[in-house]
Chain A
Amino acid sequence: MSHLYDKPQIRLSGDRAVLVEYGDAIDPAVNEKVRAVTALVKGSLPEGVEAVIPAYRNLSILYDPLVTSPDRILPHLLGLEARLREIEVPEPRTVEIPVLYGGECGPDIGFVAERGGLTVDEVIAIHAGTVYPIYMIGFTPGFCYLGGLDSRIHTPRRKTPRTLLPGGSVGIAEAQTGMYPVDSPGGWQIIGRTPLRLFAPERENPFLYEPGDRIRFVPVSPAEYNRIREGEGR
């Protein structure tokens, strides 16, 4: 069954933002549509549009009401969408994220393995064996919600969230996986940590990825982890 609407649903989010919604579920086809339309809109940004924010099933368009309005933005967007088949949507980038799995960096990996009737090595192979689309970035700067997690390692959140997770922690919550870019509290099951700085505000581009990109996790040894970490100036 498809979760895609026949026609996108338009929702007002105040007088500076409009939401264009393509479906009613966390679903690869719905998000692929969001990604494609976002890429097209960003490719020919209508005057007065200040930001385009893709999420699981919709995109939010922020605009300056002194310059434009949904009356002008939406026909443009729907026109682009109608030509989706003819216009080439750029292929998503795949960003590789090195991860040291288990041990002190991934204290919950044993729990994830036990629940799935797997070995720790199998959990690592499964988690690192998928290329994940970024469905949305939010909660904290650079926190990404990734889809496509193998059902064998779906794991509920921790009953009691941790009060402090180190930045770089990689976790699982139900059918999702993702990364905590900065130190923060969190309830996800933590299976590893990346030595990369996922949020570096002083850099020209402070982030390694954007919505619509894909993420591949690459297992690294403790020695490689330390070498990369030093290269990041941490």
Chain B
Amino acid sequence: MDAFRVVSPGSLTTVQDRGRYRFIDRGVPPSGALDLTAFRIANLLVGNPEGAAALEVTMAGPVLEVLCDAADVALAGADMDLTVNRQAAPMWRTLRVRKGDLIRVGQAKSGCRACLAVTGGIDVPLVMGSRSTCVKAKIGGVEGRALRKGDVLGRFAGQPLRHPRCVPPESVPVHTADIVLRAIPGPQEEAFARGLDTFFGSSYDITPEADRMGYRLQGPPVHHDEGFPQSIISEPTIPGNVQLPADGQPIILLVEQTTGGYSKIATVISSDIPKIAQAVPGSRVRFRRSTLEEAHRVCREQALRMRELEAHLVSPR
């Protein structure tokens, strides 16, 4: 059934789900919501199954006209001004909307990306196991592209919630301009015996070249040790890999890339990828040395917190 008409698309709004991993060995990037925590919470707030497709909104959001009789929507992620029919509406909670309502997602005040979920999930065709948009490969989402003015988006059937839900204020993430990312050395840390100290001891600015493919940083250069070549035999890249080209300025690789030929000094732990998703040009990043054991413990803690949150989504006062 129809859900929304796109009155204005915002700066970059795409349909995303958990990502497309089935053909990652054929050069198909995983895509998927960059802030998976916000994505899961937005879906929980409208009672959707975990992997239902939602809209990923970047920097400045869309204006959507509601086309269906009644549905729930929820916005989670970057702190954005949200209005329904020009009335301010809260993020991080279930909002009931009706036919003809106008949802306006404004400019991000802090953070970069938010997820807008709707009852049933966005209905776009499943392409190679996922509904995620990959603009580069022109697949998924709406015709493999970002939303445009005039697009009509469908949603799958689903019941609006009997009682609205809201995330307790203490569980709402705070997005700061100083970001600490935990990273595990590797896969090519041996090329940077000296560079590792610079890398973990410095702070880096996020440059304007920052998108779903990767974030280019600027700061004290990290050079290969003597005797190590500037490039390696190309191999798959994993979201979170920090690669170092010849100029020594780190690039954090994200979800729209599959292979690369530069050495990777370290890899941001998967639980901290949402922090990158919320980083904007001008933010500062420091890397803190982590271990596999710590990273896996954080994964388990995060999964537990998500289950607790699900159990304690409270009715708003």
Chain A residues engaging chain B, CB cutoff 8 angstroms: 11-17, 19, 25-26, 50-58, 60, 62, 65-66, 69-70, 136-143, 145, 182, 199, 201-202, 206-207, 210-211
Contacts and interface: CB of A to CB of B under 8 A. Distances in A.
Given A55-B234, A140-B27, A207-B23, A15 B292 contact: yes
A16 B238 contact: yes
Interface stretch (B53-61, B184-192, B211-219): B184-192
Nearest to B299: A65
B240 interface: yes
Contacts of B188: 11
B26 A15 contact: no
A53 B238 CA distance: 11
Residue of B137, B138, B233, B234 with highest tally of chain A CB at under 10 A: B233
B89 interface: no
B115 interface: no
A138 B23 contact: no
Contacts of A201: 127-128, 137, 139
9 contacts: A11-B186, A11-B187, A55-B259, A60-B236, A66-B299, A137-B25, A139-B259, A141-B137, A201-B127
Residue of B28, B187, B259 with highest tally of chain A CB at under 10 A: B187
Contact of B25 (A51, A58, A143, A202): A51
A14 B269 contact: yes
A204 to B, nearest CB: 9
Interface in B76-135: 127-128
Given A53-B236, A136-B259, A13 B21 contact: no
B26 A141 contact: yes
Interface majority SS (helix, strand, loop, mixed), chain B: mixed
Residue of B23, B127, B186 with highest tally of chain A CB at under 10 A: B23
Contact of A25 (B26, B233, B240, B259): B233
A207 B27 CA distance: 11
B309 interface: no
B12 interface: no
Contact of A66 (B21, B128, B236, B300): B300
A19 B187 contact: yes
A51 B127 CA distance: 18
B267 A12 contact: yes
Contacts of B139: 141, 201
Nearest to B24: A51
Interface string B202-237: 000000000000000000000000000000011110
B312 interface: no
A53 B270 contact: no
A143 B270 CA distance: 27
Contacts of A19: 187, 235
Contacts of A143: 27
Given A141-B137, A211-B26, 18 more contacts: A12-B184, A12-B267, A14-B238, A14-B240, A17-B238, A17-B267, A19-B187, A52-B25, A56-B235, A62-B24, A66-B299, A66-B303, A69-B292, A138-B234, A139-B258, A141-B28, A199-B137, A210-B25
B16 interface: no
A165 to B, nearest CB: 15
Residue of B234, B235, B238, B268 with highest tally of chain A CB at under 10 A: B235
Contacts of A14: 184, 238-241, 267-270, 295
B264 interface: yes
A26 B127 CA distance: 33
A138 B292 contact: no
